[in-house]
Chains A and B, each alone.
Chain A
């Protein structure tokens, strides 16, 4: 791990930083996220989750499934505030 490897492309978090978090006691995607911001960026972990889960898995010896899918929150993909503000009304009216 001499060279820098980006794991979370959005927040520019390196493999080394994630490994430090794991060595510091992080044992889930959420805990890695809380310590490093990996998975907190624009894509919300879509790209890096599996890579981090693999690191957690090989460090702890536990299977990948223990770590995935992690916490998934709305919205799926960024949504503007004006759309969110109008959504309750849209639910009442329905479409067309």
Chain B
């Protein structure tokens, strides 16, 4: 939604800017923020689509308990966006179903063929 740069209690935000990627597009955030925070600030609400009903999901519990916010982060599926601190250049992707582990695993298996 937006970054609260001036807060009546927390004061002014002074963290350094950084850029991460969401489905290939660069989005701006700040050091010390989680992936979930940065994406929400940039208007992203859907972090994944579920396996069975293909429904969108986003942030729910915010403290790593519910796993609604899992995404593919730097290639690793099922990563909780609410618990992952952003790093410059981090790649985040919308996860579909159980994520690309399926493909990743096949690749691993096929490599040996």
Contact = CB atoms under 8 A, between A and B. Distances in A.
A42 interface: yes
B52 A12 contact: yes
A48 B68 CA distance: 13
A9 B53 CA distance: 11
A78 B66 CA distance: 12
Interface majority SS (helix, strand, loop, mixed), chain A: loop
Size bracket, chain A contacts: 10 to 19
Contact of A42 (B55, B60, B67): B67
B61 interface: yes
B92 interface: no
Contacts, number: 27
B65 interface: yes
B52 A43 contact: no
26 contacts: A9-B57, A9-B60, A9-B66, A9-B68, A10-B66, A10-B67, A11-B52, A12-B50, A12-B51, A12-B52, A12-B53, A12-B55, A41-B67, A42-B67, A42-B70, A42-B78, A43-B65, A43-B66, A46-B65, A46-B66, A47-B60, A47-B61, A47-B65, A47-B66, A77-B64, A78-B78
Given A9-B60, A12-B50, A77-B64, 8 more contacts: A9-B57, A11-B52, A12-B52, A42-B67, A42-B70, A42-B78, A47-B66, A78-B78
Interface of A: 9-12, 41-43, 46-47, 77-78
Interface of B: 50-53, 55, 57, 60-61, 64-68, 70, 78
